[in-house]
Chain A
Amino acid sequence: MSKSLNTTFEILGSSRNEASLSVLLAALDSAQVEVFEGAIKTLVSRRSRAGHFAVVSRWHQLSEPQRDLVRQGRGKMSGGLRNALLAEDTQYFTDACEIIEEFGEFDLVATLVTLSENRNSMHSQSATEMVSRLVKQLSEMVHGKRESQDRRDPNAIRKFVMESLEHSVERFREHQREELIEAFVVLGGRSCELLRTIIEDPHHACYMTVVNTLTTSESSGVIDLLLSFLDSELPSLTAIKVISRRTDKAFLSRLLELADGKLSSQKKRNLSRIRNFAWLQTEGLHIVELEEQDQARSVALLSASGIDQEQKLALWEILLRSGKPAARLAVCESLDEMQGDHTNQLILTALEDKTPQVQAAATLQLRDRNLPGSMSLLLKLIDSPHDEVREAAGQSLGEFTFENFLSRFDTLHDDTRQSTGTLVCKVDHEVVAKLRAELESTSRKNRMRAIEMAEAMAIVSEVSDELVQRLEDEDHLVRAAAADALQFCPTAEVQEALRFALNDRSSAVQNAARNSLNAIEKLNSSNFHEPTHPVEGQS
């Protein structure tokens, strides 16, 4: 556009002379593109309902760059748009609707609701559809999806739109437009007093429409509204029923998301009122066909629900056999709160799971259930190749600690000492450190017992340096016991120490050292002939 023409439109745009509007409207009919676009741009910027209407009525003729000029008037053209909606002209109406939807001109919902209610209007049906689309758009804005450059407050707009819709609900008997009631529910939310009243009153004219919307709408607003009832102290029975009946994936996905993290006690209380979920019986939506995360979530959710225990266990069994690892783990964890033969059977099934975490979760429950053979199972599991399982078995065999073994050691039979000692070594990971402390005890009796315990637990080689020091113990019995125990540790250092002990002042120590050296020599010679023979020989 030339500088002069630009000056003309600047004057026409800023002038407070009403005559300029007629000039601009006339310019809209110009064949010159520059003049036409200048007129569009100037009319959009002016506060003039007639001017805006003229622009709106040409929307369908505009090219995309020309529409960009109109877009600059977003939020300022309500008057012109309203005129176009009410103009009883299909082209104007269509143009206005297109702009309203694109601009998100929610101010016009009230006009559209009025048009929708008036079934004699030629645009009644289109206005209804437009209200639904605008309400859906607003609902998405309220529940998160919002353009970054849009600085409008969605909640303030929502409040304004809700006023129109509430009036429409009150007039439902006259207009019978169910779509308007749906729009009201979509945008309503739990704070809407009127919506709560309708949900609680089955005789209300809108009750069936509201329930139908709650049951079928996939709008975020409706789903949020339904799920919010689970946080209510006195939730509507209707809402609880609808929650149990819905089977659509959009709702189910949101419902299962509730199980992320810990369920609040209020949610648990309300979930326990649900005796059945329709989606559990829906074809094509079987629990094992859910995503891994959703399977696990469904376990947490169903555990809190009020569905029959046998039904739950049947589901858990299916999941344990065919579910994904996260679900099998969730099942095992949820079984912790359940008792009975069926539950015990499921725990035993879980022990054979191919996922170590599932095995470990089942292992942790073995002891408390007092299952026959659980001890022998734990003794097997303590040697599991998986760290998690060994850890869980160790936790279940918590009483097999070094301290307990120490306190009962003197009362145990030799065979029991050996079997228990081996178990203690597997369960208590600090055995070596504790035994070293015991070997340094000031009490001769304790030191003697510690040497015996080292032999019983077959960990002589791990404390050999400590035993070598005991060869210089002040007590000859301790020295002799240490020399005797060291026969199971055929290292060069130990042999050197034993040779030195041959010169001990006590003949008992000398004999023990000699015997040990002989035993080591024998062992070495047999190893020379059979190099694969185990070095640790006492067990």
Chain B
Amino acid sequence: MISSLFENLCLFAQVNRWRSMGSRFRGSRGRGDISDLLPYLIGMVVIGIGVAIVVAIAKRKDFSKPCDDPNKLFRQLCIAHHLDFGSRRLLLKLATALDLAQPALVFVTPEAFEPNHLPPQLYAEQARLAELSQRLF
């Protein structure tokens, strides 16, 4: 075992000799550098992020897969009722203010839109909520 270790050390000692042998065939530009791969790596990361974003968007919009996602259900209902961003935000605010178990419940809770049930922070939105109530029920 000691003899085998000695033989290996002799081989390492000869590395410089092999380098000098190869140096005659390689130009200065052929020298390998990690910085040369950096653009490729960045490109690949960007592509990966892009793909991930596309997949995430597709998944967000895909309502056909089984899941248990209250927010997704809320979005699905908003899309079905052609609600704009402002209306969606207002409904979310209402659900949060009323402490509903999930935001989609506002679609089956007409009482939530009644002025006397409105929490104080939504008094200002009373008119828009009445309009939404008309639209949803």
**Chain A interface residues toward B at CB < 8 A:** 2, 4-5, 7-8, 10-12, 15-20, 22-24, 26-27, 30-32, 34-35, 38-39
Contacts and interface: CB of A to CB of B under 8 A. Distances in A.
A26 B77 contact: no
Mostly, the A contact residues are helix
Contacts of A5: 136-137
B80 A19 contact: no
A18 B68 CA distance: 5
Contact of A20 (B101, B104, B109): B104
Given A8-B80, A22-B70, A26-B108, 15 more contacts: A4-B136, A8-B136, A10-B80, A17-B66, A18-B68, A19-B70, A19-B72, A19-B73, A20-B104, A23-B107, A24-B108, A30-B108, A31-B111, A35-B108, A35-B110
Contacts of A24: 108
Contacts of A31: 111
Which range contains the number of B residues in contact with the other chain?
20 to 34
Given A15-B63, A18-B68, A8 B107 contact: yes
Contacts of A30: 108-110
Given A4-B81, A23-B104, A26-B101, A17 B68 contact: yes
Given A4-B135, A4-B137, A32-B110, A22 B102 contact: yes
Contacts of B107: 8, 23
Contacts of B63: 15-17
Closest 9 CB pairs of A and B: A18-B68, A27-B108, A19-B70, A19-B73, A16-B66, A17-B73, A8-B107, A11-B80, A23-B104
A17 B65 CA distance: 8
Given A17-B67, A19-B102, A8 B77 contact: yes
Contact of B69 (A7, A11, A17, A32): A17
Contacts, number: 76
A287 B60 CA distance: 83
Contacts of B109: 26, 30, 35
Contacts of B64: 16
B87 interface: no
B136 A23 contact: no
Contacts of B77: 8, 11-12
B82 to A, nearest CB: 10
Given A5-B136, A11-B77, A35-B110, A16 B105 contact: no
A26 to B, nearest CB: 6
A28 to B, nearest CB: 10
Interface string B41-63: 00000000000000000000001
A10 B81 CA distance: 12
A445 to B, nearest CB: 112
Contacts of A26: 101, 105, 108-109
Interface in B84-121: 101-102, 104-105, 107-111
9 contacts: A11-B77, A17-B68, A17-B73, A19-B72, A20-B73, A23-B102, A27-B108, A30-B108, A35-B108
Contacts of B111: 31-32
Nearest to B104: A23
Contacts of A23: 73, 102, 104-105, 107-108
A18 B66 contact: yes
